[in-house]
Amino acid sequence: MKIIVLSDVHNDKDNLKKIIAKHRNEAQLFVFLGDGIDNFEDVTAFDSKVKSVCVKGNWDYDSGKSAYEVFNAGDKTFFITHGDLYDVEQSLDNLVRTAKSKGADICLYGHSHISAYEMRDGMLVLNPGAVTGRGAYCIFDITDGNVTFKFRDLI
């Protein structure tokens, strides 16, 4: 299963459109981690090939979306959030504790605009970076219980 993880569009619809167009035929799921949810929905609303799970960020005031979601993809449980409510720029401790309490194997967050990952207590914790600017995102592949991922930039 191929999953494209995006965050922090901040009105950079050009980069968002390029990423969606590049992966829309191969990805089974797009995960959007907030800050530009209206941009994401504008670009993908009428594209039946784009299946998505989204959460709101601190920039998405009136979106009506949840601040976090828990879902299964492949045989993995994902916890996704924007990250601002967990103070991720200071520490990942609160985020990791919450994701663990939800039974997550993988925790995805945005907010800091910095691509990063680490393993915490057997859980992958990952930020894809920001779509705005250099066009950063992440490609996940889950096959037979194995997870691989690659960070990508448009630039």
Give the tens place of pLDDT for each residue, 121-145: 899 999 999 999 999 999 999 999 8
pLDDT-flagged residues of the chain (< 50): none
pLDDT of residue 102: 98
CA distance 110 to 88: 9
CA distance 52 to 65: 13
Q: How many domains does the chain have?
A: 1
What's the pTM value of the predicted model, to 2 decimals?
A: 0.96
pLDDT of residue 61: 85
CATH number at 12 reads 3.60.21.10
pLDDT of residue 51: 96
Cα–Cα nearest to 3, from 83, 154, 110, 19? 19
pLDDT of residue 68: 98
